[in-house]
Amino acid sequence: GSTIGILGGGQLGRMLGLAAAQLGYKVHIYAPDAESVAAEVTAHHSQAAWDDEPRLAAFAAACDIVTFEFENVPVDTVRFLSGHVAVHPGVRALEIAQDRLAEKAFVADLGGRTAPFAAVPDRAALDSALAAIGAPAILKTVRLGYDGKGQARLASADDADAAWDAIGRHAAILEGFVAFAHEFSVILVRGIDGEVRFWDSSVNVHENGILATASLPPPSIILGQQDEARAMMAKVADALDYVGVLTGEFFATDAGPVFNEMAPRVHNSGHWTIEGAVTSQFENHIRAIAGLPLGSTACGPLPVVMRNLIGDQIAEVPDLLADENCHVHHYSKTEVREGRKLGHATWVGFAAGPPPA
Ligand code: ATP
Ligand code: MG
Ligand code: MG
């Protein structure tokens, strides 16, 4: 059988690996970290550095198709692999998604709505950016932020020094603070032939900068803005000749959907699709990169609630297992750390919490 290579060893790689196995593929994980919860469910694992070219070449030779589950895989790694094996999505999508300035400029050029933003390469640029954008605002590192890390909020220009220090004085982007009603994501899959399918958008609730829940049906403001946001993300996917699952995060505002960021991969807010849709985001990603027909993205019974199990919340697993309506996912990470995503739970056709009497 064919082998699918996955760059990155986290829970997204684990769920991609399980979906690939279901479709008859062998899976090979390549990740530098000693702990790889993805490698635990697959037969082949290369634990090697992102710049280890001999190991990368051997990995490429062992795989028929390569993909990634982690958007901070160095672009040079993917470029090197692309010289040896088919890699989907491509280098360009990864490059843009790794750079918040490039990402917002790319979407704005395609006609998308973003928060007002300005480049902040150094401390002096922060003053001019604040003068142009005003407060409140958010300062974010251009690269490597996730789960709200590498961000600082500014209530006024008086917070400039503190914000600059808080993000570690890295090259940054200043964004105007968007007064949004709700957050949602558009998750699409684009096939090798350019066919695009969308899952329904959930409402995404964040706590302390980390996704807490994704629920459907979403409030009506999201339903009303979903089509425009989808059209935007389809343009992005087409412009990149994208193959696989692509996620766009949006704010629902009075002015319409505001694009926040994209992830060139399966997304936490799409975990509900495992039990809640005909075909999950993981399975359709594998189908897309393998050139197979895409599966239906239709949802099953509503409501759907996906709740992340973060840090100590993983201790709720026994109770969740006792809830007959709950689908429990435990990522088997060895270290329980505050703010770490350790599992998730999904209810399909039942609201989270005790089932209706
Ligand atoms: P992720 O884990 O989703 O990759 P991230 O660290 O890349 O997160 P963002 O998604 O840009 O960061 O921001 C995290 C959260 O902070 C957003 O989901 C939103 O709640 C809030 N936020 C970010 N940018 C803005 C903005 N310009 N205006 C208002 N709120 C914002
Ligand atoms: Mg992000
Ligand atoms: Mg985000």
Name the residue ranges covered by the structural domains of the chain: 3-87, 116-176, 182-348
User: Looking only at Cα atoms, what is the longest distance across the chain?
Assistant: 61
Nearest residue (by CA) to ligand 1, atom 7, is 146
| Span from the CA of 36 to the centroid of ligand 1 (angstroms) | 27
277-305: per-residue pLDDT in tens? 999 999 999 999 999 999 999 999 999 99
Nearest residue (by CA) to ligand 1, atom 27, is 177
Type of residue numbered 175: E
- Residue (of 194, 199, 189, 198) closest to 238 by Cα position: 194
CATH 3.30.2290.10 fits 182-348, yes or no: no
Nearest residue (by CA) to ligand 1, atom 5, is 146
Residue 179 pLDDT > 90: yes
Type of residue numbered 337: R
Pocket of ligand 1 (CB under 6 A): 115, 138, 145-149, 175, 177-178, 183, 206, 209, 249, 260-261
Residue 327's contacts (CB-CB under 8 Å, 6 or more residues apart) are 274, 275, 345, 346, 347, 348
97-149: per-residue pLDDT in tens? 999 999 999 999 999 999 999 999 999 999 999 999 999 999 999 999 888 88
Tell me: is residue 183 an annotated ligand-binding position.
Answer: yes
Overall average pLDDT of the 22-44 stretch: 94
Residue 297's contacts (CB-CB under 8 Å, 6 or more residues apart) are 189, 197, 198, 199, 200, 273, 277, 278, 279, 284
Residue 22's contacts (CB-CB under 8 Å, 6 or more residues apart) are 283
Residue 64 pLDDT > 60: yes
Q: How far apart are CA 165 and CA 256, in angstroms?
A: 33
In the DSSP assignment, the letter for residue 114 is: B
Tell me: is residue 140 an annotated ligand-binding position.
Answer: yes
| Strand, coil or helix: 135 | coil
Q: What pLDDT, on the 0 to 100 scale, is given for residue 147?
A: 82
Q: How far apart are CA 227 and CA 163, in angstroms?
A: 36
The ipTM, to two decimals, is 0.98
Q: What pLDDT, on the 0 to 100 scale, is given for residue 356?
A: 56
Which ligand ends up closest to the CA of 147? 1
Q: How far apart are CA 75 and CA 247, in angstroms?
A: 19
Nearest residue (by CA) to ligand 1, atom 9, is 148
| Span from the CA of 209 to the centroid of ligand 1 (angstroms) | 7
CATH, domain range 3-87: 3.40.50.20
Residue 154 pLDDT > 80: yes
Fold of 116-176: Dna Ligase; domain 1 (3.30.1490)
Tokens of 289: 């990169």
| Span from the CA of 188 to the centroid of ligand 2 (angstroms) | 17
**Strand residues in 36-150 grouped as ranges (E):** 44-47, 65-68, 86-87, 117-120, 137-141
DSSP 279-336: S-HHHHHHHHHTTPPPPP--B-SS-EEEEEEEGGGGGGHHHHHHSTTEEEEE---S--
Tell me: is residue 111 an annotated ligand-binding position.
Answer: no
Tell me: is residue 175 an annotated ligand-binding position.
Answer: yes
182-199: per-residue pLDDT in tens? 999 999 999 999 999 999
**Residue 248 — very low, low, confident or very high, per pLDDT cuts 50/70/90?**
very high
